[in-house]
A and B are shown apart, each in its own frame.
Chain A
Amino acid sequence: MIFKNSNFSEQSAWISVIFAIFIAAFYGYGMMQLEGSFSTHAEQIVWLWIETIVVSIVFVIIAFSILSVIKSKNGDDDELGLIDERDEAIEVKATLWAYFNLHFCLTILLVHVFCQSVIVDYPFFSNVPPVDFLIHGLMFAGLLVELVLRATQIYRYRKAA
């Protein structure tokens, strides 16, 4: 079991990884159902955001409630929320990787929008308007940053530091 022999921070990281994958799938599915673009169907996209935010909140509440119930059943609930210097050191290293990832994603998004506007017959996502690409791209970039941050944390925890 993934939760065996791990502390609260590592367990939170596992939950966040599952969260990022679940929300990406939810948002991706919602995006497929969208008709038209942001300029013509803005309310649909705004509703998708609202639904995604609500689902995120519900997911986090349920996941952490289950975690706290499991921990109190195992009798180690006094460790709940305890963050020590090793957790902080691991978070700092993971944040650095997440920052690199964010930088990379933003660069890709902006380069794509720039290329789409200046290159005739630009081959990538030519049927998606730049504003829509930016909106959805930013959402996925945020989820990818979260995924990289937590995955790096888990890797560091497994490596022990």
Chain B
Amino acid sequence: MTKKAKGIMSNQLRKKRFEKDEMTQQALAKKLGVTRQTIAAIESGKYSPSLEVAFCLADIFATPIDELFQWQANSEGD
């Protein structure tokens, strides 16, 4: 039986960005090699980045990945 992951992913990207000298979305996008719209989509929780991008973000903000991204699993179907 396969179990489909269901839950809500949240992140502290905006907070971390402001803590890091109020870094702009554009500056962060340039560092990551993605578009500014992708950063905006990640921040608003509408897009979940790949592990590579998530680790790069953790690297840029020098913070553990679980401090940057949080996962709240749905209790239904457990």
In the assembled complex, how far is the CB of residue B72 from the closest CB belonging to chain A, in whole angstroms?
Answer: 18
A119 at the interface (CB under 8 A from B): no
Interface: A160 (CB within 8 A): yes
Question: A86-B47, A159-B46 are contacts. A7–B53 as well, Cβ < 8 Å?
Answer: no
Contacts of B33 in A (CB 8 A): 82, 84
| Pairwise interchain contact B37-A6, C-beta atoms closer than 8 A | yes
Secondary structure class of chain A's binding surface, majority of residues:
helix
Min Cβ gap B13→A in Å is 14
Which residues does chain A contribute within 8 Å of B30, judged by CB atoms? 78
Cβ–Cβ < 8 Å partners of B49 in chain A: 85
- Complex Cα distance, B44 from A9, in Å, reads 20
Asked whether B75 is an interface residue with its Cβ less than 8 Å from the other chain, the reply is: no
State whether the Cβ of B38 lies closer than 8 Å to any Cβ in chain A: yes
Chain B: CB-nearest residue to A8: B35
Q: List 6 A-B contacts (CB under 8 A).
A: A82-B35, A85-B52, A86-B34, A86-B37, A86-B41, A86-B47
